[in-house]
A and B are shown apart, each in its own frame.
Chain A
Amino acid sequence: MNEEKKKGTEAKKAVKELVYGMAMHDMVRYSLKTRMYLEHLFMLITLGDMLGIPLLPPYYSLKMLPYAVPNIKSWQRRLFRERDFTDSLY
């Protein structure tokens, strides 16, 4: 009995994941990417002077800095990375 129930839930889960993969995954991926762009745009405005682009007065930049700490590395990497045409494919 227990075995059967387990099988049932597993099947259910598999169907759910299949549907998610077919319908939602791309949307989520796209959303995550847009979300990242927004985060990076935000960081550019607030911490732009880190890269030599002063936009916000530093007093307020510093106020925002603590929240941006975990993202700084990836943000800088993305902005400083060399780009080529394959970028537009992904």
Chain B
Amino acid sequence: MEGIEMTETMKEFFERRPELNCIIFAGKGGLGKTTFSAATSHWLAEQGKRTLCFSTDPQASLSDIFERDIYGKGIQSFAPNLHVLEIDSDRRVNEYQEGIRKKILDMYNLKELPKEIDEYIKAAASEPAMDESATYDAMAELMEKRDYSYYVFDMPPFGHGIRMVSMALILDTWIDKITEVRMKAREYDEAMATLRGKTEAEKEDVILKELTEIREKLDFFSGVLTDSKRTAFFMVLIPEKMAILDTERALKMFDSMKLNLSGIIVNQVYPPELLKRKDLGDFLKHRIEMQQRYMKVIWEKFEPHIRAVVPMYDREPKGLKMIAKVAGDLFGWKLER
């Protein structure tokens, strides 16, 4: 379907999808995901929509882009409707760990944890997947509250970002299996209680309850992520070979996970008009020519997906002023043919 349609601009894309409320930027590192997350949030806020821009990147950079220290400081706001959050996932993991420790001590009235359990908690908390899950959990928690009209997620570099989505699907299957085992165990509990003429099994299975809670959270979130009416995935691309290859791979991955790619934004394009200037040095000239060659390839390969082409700036896009400028370029872009 999308292949037949004309290229939709970023603005048209948002205007035609009023139900949209979750926007995710994915792509290789350093291409401008954070910049576009900030710019999109800025634009939406300007349209009067209550927007939350949330960085899930452990090497978080929203602080840098907005030029404020917001890391681990909760939800901050420095423009009307524009709210920004950068979580400190290490701290979150630590707090979570402490919570589990305390729960065990309280549940069994212990003074200190058995050694092997303590060691296990320590080992589990240092696994890299822990951060990911904690972030994921935080995302789901935020969205469930429905406090904002738009949630813009700045995801960590590729692979990982998409993994978060696929993890939801895999986890869902696991939780299914575990729940099944629990249900069976409960059946046995009940049967035994009847055989012995007791009614002790009526006690609620707390584990089952906990599992159902995890499940509901995941279901809600993966439901949102796979609903193309509510969620948009954008990929950021630059006119270079590696990025093009990566995007092709990503398209396949999206397909295999039955997710819709909402669009591709081409970033860091040197203005081709510069080529007309006589004082242009060889270095820049070659770069621009190379980019233009790759731009052709990009249009051939991804035309129906392209939502905007954003230029290379003469300085780093930082601070509210620059973000507003990027937002203007991103949402003001029109196809010129």
Contact = CB atoms under 8 A, between A and B. Distances in A.
Contacts of B192: 28, 31-32, 35
A41 interface: yes
A31 to B, nearest CB: 5
A42 B181 CA distance: 6
Contacts of B206: 67
Contacts of A53: none
B196 A35 contact: no
B242 interface: no
B133 A70 contact: no
Chain A CB within 10 Å — which of B96, B104, B185, B206 has the most?
A: B185
Contacts of A64: 207, 210-211
Interface stretch (A5-13, A54-62, A78-86): A54-62
B67 to A, nearest CB: 33
A62 B206 CA distance: 15
Contacts, number: 97
B207 A59 contact: no
A15 B206 CA distance: 37
A67 B207 contact: yes
Contacts of A65: 100, 104, 117, 120-121
A87 to B, nearest CB: 21
Interface stretch (B34-42, B122-130, B306-314): B122-130
A52 to B, nearest CB: 10
A58 B125 contact: yes
Nearest to A41: B181
B189 A46 contact: no
Nearest to A70: B108
Given A38-B184, A41-B181, A57 B104 contact: no
B178 interface: yes
B93 to A, nearest CB: 8
A60 to B, nearest CB: 6
A35 B167 contact: no
Given A62-B97, A65-B120, A66-B103, 13 more contacts: A28-B192, A31-B191, A31-B195, A41-B181, A56-B178, A57-B132, A57-B171, A60-B133, A62-B121, A64-B207, A66-B100, A67-B207, A72-B117
30 contacts: A28-B192, A28-B195, A31-B188, A31-B191, A31-B195, A38-B181, A38-B184, A39-B185, A41-B181, A42-B178, A42-B181, A46-B178, A50-B120, A57-B129, A57-B130, A58-B129, A58-B133, A59-B129, A59-B130, A59-B133, A59-B134, A60-B214, A62-B121, A63-B100, A64-B211, A65-B100, A67-B207, A70-B108, A72-B116, A72-B117
Interface of A: 20, 24, 27-28, 31-32, 34-35, 38-39, 41-42, 45-47, 49-50, 55-67, 69-70, 72
